[in-house]
């Protein structure tokens, strides 16, 4: 289910955005859920608690924590989720490129403009999801796991456990080595231990013995591998800039 965040401190504009989103969802038969935030602090607080969205719709001119501030926070852990700015000012149009915004739309927003923009954005999300996914066979049947939503995988006994951002854990009976080989091809996974492989998108801190995750959990670091893992993570961050 597609998750969308909508953030605007102007209640009338926020209501108009929700109306357009509901209209789009109905006419396009789109399966999605959305969360509404009346200021940047609320959205950032949700992100700090581990909540993640596939699409972010942000007003820029909000007091305290601006839409640009929120976008920079999003980009600190998610380099690819589409960010759309809806604003009454062209002042920040150039700066929006620094956070790789998908689009920058001036208010008031017409239905036509909203639909065209969302059509284009969902096509990008679809392509990304089609490319970045793995298919596993679990006790519940064959399941498709979006790589962007996989925090880490671990092996315990003969079972591989896939820990998802949603909190769900998918259990499979399969060799761990091919799993690691497959995930490493995506370029943002690091094997911290013979029994753990971690999505570097969700790394918070790394020390010589443990990797702490943005979701609040942690995974062990194999003895003597701390320096190597730190270098891998630094290289990943530099590539994403």
What pTM was estimated for this model as a whole? 0.54
| pLDDT at position 205 | 94
Q: 3-state secondary structure string, 8-73?
A: CCCHHHHHHHHHHHHHHHHHCCCCEEEEEECCHHHHHHHHHCCCCCCEEEEECCCCCCCHHHHHHH
**Could you give the residue range(s) of every CATH 2.40.50.1020 domain in the chain?**
134-240
CATH number of 2-131: 3.40.50.2300
The sheet with strand 196-199 has its strands ordered as 141-146, 133-138, 169-173, 159-164, 150-156, 196-199, 189-193
| pLDDT at position 96 | 54
How far is the C-alpha of 205 from the C-alpha of 28, rounded, in Å?
41
**Could you give the residue range(s) of every CATH 3.40.50.2300 domain in the chain?**
2-131
| pLDDT at position 4 | 93
Residues 23-49 pLDDT 10s: 998 888 787 889 999 999 999 998 888
Can you list the residues of the chain whose pLDDT is less than 70? 1, 89-102, 126-131, 240-241
Q: Name the class of domain 134-240.
A: mainly beta
| pLDDT at position 227 | 93
Contact 39, 63 (CB under 8 A): yes
| pLDDT at position 20 | 94
């Amino acid at each position: 289910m597609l998750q969308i965040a909508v953030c605007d401190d102007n209640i009338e504009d926020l209501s108009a955005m929700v109306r357009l989103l509901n209209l789009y969802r109905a006419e396009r038969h789109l399966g999605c859920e959305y969360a509404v935030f009346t200021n940047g602090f609320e959205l950032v607080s949700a992100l700090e608690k581990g909540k993640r969205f596939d699409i972010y719709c942000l007003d820029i001119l909000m007091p305290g924590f601006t839409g640009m501030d929120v976008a920079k926070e999003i980009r600190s852990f998610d380099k690819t989720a589409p960010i759309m700015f809806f604003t009454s000012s062209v002042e920040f149009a150039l700066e929006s490129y620094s956070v790789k915004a998908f689009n920058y739309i001036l208010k008031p927003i017409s239905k036509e403009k909203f639909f065209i923009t969302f059509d284009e954005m969902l096509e990008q999300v679809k392509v990304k999801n089609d490319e970045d996914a793995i298919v596993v066979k679990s006790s519940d049947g064959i399941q498709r796991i979006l790589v962007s939503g996989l925090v880490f995988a671990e092996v315990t006994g003969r079972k591989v456990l896939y820990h998802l951002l949603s909190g769900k854990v998918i259990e499979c009976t399969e060799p761990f080595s091919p799993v690691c080989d497959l995930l490493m091809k995506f370029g943002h996974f690091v094997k911290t231990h013979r029994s753990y492989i971690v999505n570097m998108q969700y790394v918070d801190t790394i020390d010589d013995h443990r990797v702490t995750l943005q979701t609040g959990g942690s995974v062990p670091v194999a003895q003597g591998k701390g320096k190597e893992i730190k270098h891998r993570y630094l290289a990943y961050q530099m590539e994403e800039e």
